[in-house]
Structure 1
Amino acid sequence: MGKSNLDLIKECDNFPYYSDDPAFYTVHLKTYHAFKVAGCDAVLGYIPNSVVEKFYWPDCWAVDSTAQTVTLVTPPGATPAQRSELMAQTLDETVKRGNFKILHGWRNEMYPIYGPKGEFLLEMERCASPIFGIVTYGVHMTGYVEDEQGLRIWVPRRARTKQTYPGMLDNTVAGGISTGELPFECAIREAMEEASIPEDIVRAGAVPVGCVTYFYVRDERAGGETGLLQPEVEYVYDLKLDASVVPKPCDSEVEDFRLWNVDEIKEALSKGEFKPNCAVVLIDFFIRHGILTPDNEPDYLEIVARLHRRLEFPTASHATK
């Protein structure tokens, strides 16, 4: 029997909920240290205890095993640049020690960390973000064709050489939002880098349709250590394309694209062929386009609720001031 839509949601949003079992949740949380920054009261992420034990913590870090906290210690009034430099130095030394496989996938992309009022605290190398369990941000765009043949979606297959989710199916365009980047600009950049879709087509046709949020516990498909945490916000866009526009791989991250109808995509979802968060975005697409409805999906209510998890850590608006 294949995976249900709710199975796919639970596979991506798989960190426990306090409301489901408070006692279990409380015990489970003891397997993590809270990541904090001096001068900010908020917990910014969860680090597994096993990671804390083997990570390199120089003098600028305070590890409190009783309170189960790991705090980046900086002087009062420290700037984001100063905090970021300390983080960079820590990660550089950790890489040299070679204790973490996930750091082999160094991207030279910086991810921001925000405080409870949306203030920018610091940035860190993308591939290290799951070690600290921070909230990360990305965009997913579904490119689709709707004509006399019905609704069809462009589906890429990830390169089998990728460190993360090799060979799995993906959304038409997807990528992480770097420090200082706006979601729509990220979508434009990724559309060209991953799918060779020109900027003018994206600017003219991409429609922002909301976001999905989830709290993912990484498994072996993600590459690197398992059990690391990824609470994420994915801004979602729809891009209706003319049939003459054919996405093509532009880098080594995608093997090919295929134009699939709804039934073909449902079958691949059921077989678990899609990267977990890409399955979530497709289910969201199906709901918004009336393909999944309260009349044909028995888990409709729970699915809709689980598409928009309220995360335990501070999040920030990307709206321009």
Structure 2
Amino acid sequence: MGFSNLELVIQCDNFPYFEDNQTVYAEHIAKYYEFRVSGIDATLGYILNSVVDKFPWPQYWQIDSRLKRVTLVTAANVTAADRSKLIAETLSEAVKKESFEVLKGWRSENYPVFGPGGEYLFEMERSASPLFGIVTYGSHMTGYTEDAEGMKIWVPRRSKNKQTYPGMLDNTVAGGMATGERPFECIVREALEEASLPESVVRPGAIARGCITYSHIRDARAGGEVGLSQPEIEFVYDLKLDASVTPKPGDNEVDAFELLSIPELKDALARGEFKPNCSVVIIDFFIRHGILTPENEPDYLDIMSRLHRRLQYPLASYRQ
């Protein structure tokens, strides 16, 4: 029968819920240390025990085995740039010592980390983000067409050479948000880079449709160490494309695009062909467009609640 829609959502949002089973949650959280920075009363992420043991921590890090906390210790007047410099030095040492497989996928892209109230605290190399379990942000867009045969969606096949989820199906456009980048600007940039979709098509046509949130535990398909915590927020967009517009690979991350009907998409989902978070974006699209409804999806309410997990970390603010 293949995977149900709820099973696909759970594969992505697979960090245990305290409310569901406190014993299971306690057993799982015992595998991690809290990640903190001095002067900020908040947990910024969860670091796997084995990562803590293996990391070549410089002297400005405090490892508290009793409280199970890893803290970046800085002066009271520290700036975000100061913290970022210390993080970069820490990661540079880990790269030199080849401490972690995941760092071999170094991207030279930085992700922001926020404190309470959306305060920008520092930035970190993208490939290192799952080692620290920080919240990461991205934008995903579903490009679709409609004709006499019905709705069809453009789906790319990830390159077989990618370090993460090689050869799996993806969303039409998807990418992580770098430091200082806003969700819509991210999707405009990624659309051109990944799908050769110009700004003249994306800016007037892409419609913001909310976001999905989940807390993922990485498996072998993600590349590198397994068991790393990866909470994420994905801003979702829809783009209705004219039949004359065809997405084309713009970089080496995608092998090819294919236009799939809704039944074909459902079959691919059930076979587990999509990258986990991309499955969730497609399911969210199906719900918003009335393809999945309470009448035809028995797990509708469970799916809806898990598409919008309340993350227990400080999050970004877009007030400015």
TM-score category by the smaller chain?
over 0.9
The residue aligned with 1:48 is: 48
Report the Cα distance in structure 2 between the residues aligned to 1:215 and 1:52, rounded to whole angstroms.
20
Residue 317 of structure 1: CA displacement?
2.4
Letter in 2 for 1:73: V
For 1:171 and 1:28, the matched residues in 2 are separated by 30
The residue aligned with 1:162 is: 162
Q: Within 5 A, what are the aligned runs for 1:57-76?
A: 57-76=57-76
Query: Retained in 2: the 8 A contact 1:155–1:170?
Result: yes
Cα deviation digits, residues 11-47 of structure 1 (max 9, x gap) = 0000000000112212321211000001101000000
Provide the aligned length of Structure 1 versus Structure 2.
Answer: 320
Separation of aligned partners in 2, 1:307 and 1:77: 39
1:183–1:318 contact (8 Å) kept in structure 2: no
Amino acid at match of 1:267: D
Equivalent AA in structure 1 for residue 148 of structure 2 = E
Query: Displacement, 1:77?
Result: 1.4
- TM-score (ref. length: structure 1): 0.99
Residue 212 of structure 2: aligned partner: 212
Q: How does 1:25-174 map to 2 (within 5 A)?
A: 25-174=25-174
Task: Map Cα deviations across residues 83-104 of structure 1 (whole Å, 9 max, x no partner).
Answer: 0000000000000001200000
CA distance, structure 2, for counterparts of residue 244 and residue 223 of structure 1? 37
- What is the match of residue 8 of structure 2? 8
Inter-partner Cα distance in structure 2 for 1:107 and 1:241: 31
Secondary structure of 2:130's match?
A: helix
How much does 1:277 deviate? Answer: 0.2
Q: Distance in 2 between matches of 1:274 and 1:24?
A: 28
Letter paired with 1:261? S
Match of residue 258 from structure 2: 258
Unpaired stretches in structure 1, ≥5 consecutive residues: none
Q: Secondary structure at the match of 1:214?
A: strand
Per the alignment, residue 188 of structure 2 pairs with: 188
Runs of 4+ in 1 over 6 A off after TM superposition: none
How far is the alpha carbon of 1:313 from its aligned partner?
0.8
Question: What amino acid maps onto 2:189 in structure 1?
Answer: R
| 1:235 alignment partner in structure 2 | 235
Tell me the distance in 1 between the aligned counterparts of 2:318 and 2:45: 20
Query: Which residue of structure 2 aligns with residue 20 of structure 1?
Result: 20
Q: Does 1:203 align with 2:203?
A: yes
Structure 2: 5+ residue stretches without partners: none
Equivalent position SS for 1:41: coil
Matches for 1:243-254 after TM superposition, within 5 Å: 243-254=243-254
What is the distance in 2 between the residues matched to 1:307 and 1:13? 8
Query: Is residue 117–residue 317 contact of structure 2 (8 Å, CA) maintained in 1?
Result: no
Cα distance in 2, alignment partners of residues 280 and 28 from structure 1: 23
What is the letter of the counterpart of residue 117 of structure 1? G
Let me know the Cα RMSD of the aligned residues.
0.7
Partner of 1:309: 309
Cα shift readout 1:55-89 (whole Å, capped 9, x = no counterpart): 11001100001110000011001000000000000
Distance 2:28 2:6 in 1: 23
- Contact kept in structure 1, 2:45 and 2:132, CA below 8 Å: yes
2:44 aligns to what SS in structure 1? Answer: strand
Task: Please list the CA deviations of residues 96-152 of structure 1 after superposition, one character each: whole Å capped at 9, or x if unmatched.
Answer: 001200000000000000001100000000000000000000000000001222100
SS at 1:117 equivalent: helix
Contact 1:12 1:215 in 2 (8 A): yes
Give the TM-score normalised by structure 2: 0.99
Kept in 1: contact 2:192–2:198 (CA 8 A): yes
CA–CA distance in 2 between the matches of 1:206 and 1:133?
30
